[in-house]
A = this chain, B = another copy of it.
Amino acid sequence: MFNFVPMITKDDISAAYQQIQDSICKGLEIADGGAVFEEELWSRDGGGGGRTRILQNGDVIERGGVNFSAVHGKLPEKIKEAFQVKEDDFFATGVSIVIHPRNPWVPIIHMNIRYFELNEETRWFGGGIDLTPHYILQQDAAFFHNYLKTVCDSFDISYYPRFKAWADDYFFIKHRQETRGIGGIFYDRLRPENTQHSFDEIFEFSKAVGQSFVPIYAELIKRNKDNVFTEEQKNWQYIRRSRYVEFNLVYDSGTKFGLETNGRIESILMSLPPQANWAYNYQPIHGSAEERTLQLLKKGVDWLNG
């Protein structure tokens, strides 16, 4: 028996992810119309590094981060247990995005594509896109989910239903018994063994998810950026953002992985909003748009036919 050299290398993947970061930043600058990303290059003590790009005080984007990283080193014991693996040496590369818009009618968006490798046998892709509207607009939710379904269907018609349900389960704020937003798609540990697809095909899917980001978010910005909003609606946005903080600090495994592998803190926590408010025992007014949004923050909603 002899080992096949894998067709796709770590370098291919991180190079493709860097290109995706570049094109997303360009697309977001155009969609924002008013600001440019600032870049910080960083290296990690344990090995590797990244390019953190932050856009602040834009016309549309209050703060957004588009991170690329490619890190390697020894896996902490805790993560080894969580991943149920024995190997120590890991390589991980990915692009992570969180955008907090200024206007509460524009949704918060998150995207991540990532690749993780312990050795030639133990390697996988993960990622997803999910949307957190401060106010859920059915037509936007339908556009978002249909776009993702189209991307998924072009690879495998089982992907959308499988990854949509996975997102519902993953982006769930257990202690509030509410979803973070309207979900989207989430997948992890995708490999030939659990997809019936080659590694090349999964890599192509990962890139397609990354490339779908700009067309999706540019459209959602265009639809909503000029909507007028009141101070009360801005306050509601701050409250929804505090739920976003709760999810990211209590449940998000990307954040946990970053904190536990001594990642660059400012890059990991760029997902947190510029401002978040906690109101004690907030109860929306009966029949209000805030109440309707809260009522829709549930698993298992079919968003395709808005």
- Chain A interface (Cβ within 8 Å of chain B)? 40, 54, 56, 63, 65, 174-176, 238, 242, 245-246, 249-250, 259, 265-266, 268-270, 272-281
Tell me the complex Cα distance, A279–B56, Å: 10
Q: Are B245 and A266 in contact (CB under 8 A)?
A: no
B residues near A279, Cβ cutoff 8 Å? 274
Known: A266-B280, A273-B278. 8 other contacts (CB 8 A): A174-B259, A242-B272, A246-B269, A272-B278, A275-B275, A275-B277, A276-B277, A276-B278
Q: Are A175 and B266 in contact (CB under 8 A)?
A: no
B residues near A174, Cβ cutoff 8 Å? 259
Known: A245-B249, A269-B278, A272-B278. A259 touches B175 (CB 8 A): yes
Q: Are B40 and A281 in contact (CB under 8 A)?
A: yes
B residues near A245, Cβ cutoff 8 Å? 245, 249, 276
The closest CB in chain B to the CB of A256 belongs to: B250
Tell me the complex Cα distance, A275–B175, Å: 20
Q: Are A280 and B175 in contact (CB under 8 A)?
A: no
The closest CB in chain B to the CB of A260 belongs to: B175
B residues near A270, Cβ cutoff 8 Å? 280
Q: Are A277 and B280 in contact (CB under 8 A)?
A: no
Contacting A249 at CB < 8 Å: which of B56, B238, B250, B275?
B250
B residues near A54, Cβ cutoff 8 Å? 280-281
**Residue among A242, A276, A277, A280 with max Cβ neighbours from chain B (10 Å):** A280
Contacting A246 at CB < 8 Å: which of B63, B249, B273, B277?
B249
List 10 A-B pairs, minimum CB-CB distance, nearest first: A249-B249, A272-B278, A266-B281, A175-B259, A275-B277, A54-B280, A249-B250, A175-B265, A276-B276, A270-B280
**Residue among A63, A175, A176 with max Cβ neighbours from chain B (10 Å):** A175
Min distance, Cβ A180 to any Cβ of chain B, angstroms: 14
B residues near A249, Cβ cutoff 8 Å? 245-246, 249-250
The closest CB in chain B to the CB of A272 belongs to: B278
The closest CB in chain B to the CB of A265 belongs to: B175
B residues near A65, Cβ cutoff 8 Å? 280
B residues near A273, Cβ cutoff 8 Å? 278
B residues near A272, Cβ cutoff 8 Å? 242, 278
The closest CB in chain B to the CB of A262 belongs to: B175
**Residue among A63, A176, A245 with max Cβ neighbours from chain B (10 Å):** A245
Contacting A56 at CB < 8 Å: which of B238, B259, B280?
B280
B residues near A40, Cβ cutoff 8 Å? 281
B residues near A238, Cβ cutoff 8 Å? 275
What are 21 A-B pairs with beta-carbon distances under 8 A? A54-B280, A54-B281, A63-B280, A65-B280, A174-B259, A175-B268, A176-B265, A242-B272, A245-B245, A246-B249, A249-B249, A249-B250, A266-B280, A266-B281, A273-B278, A274-B278, A274-B279, A275-B277, A275-B278, A276-B276, A276-B277
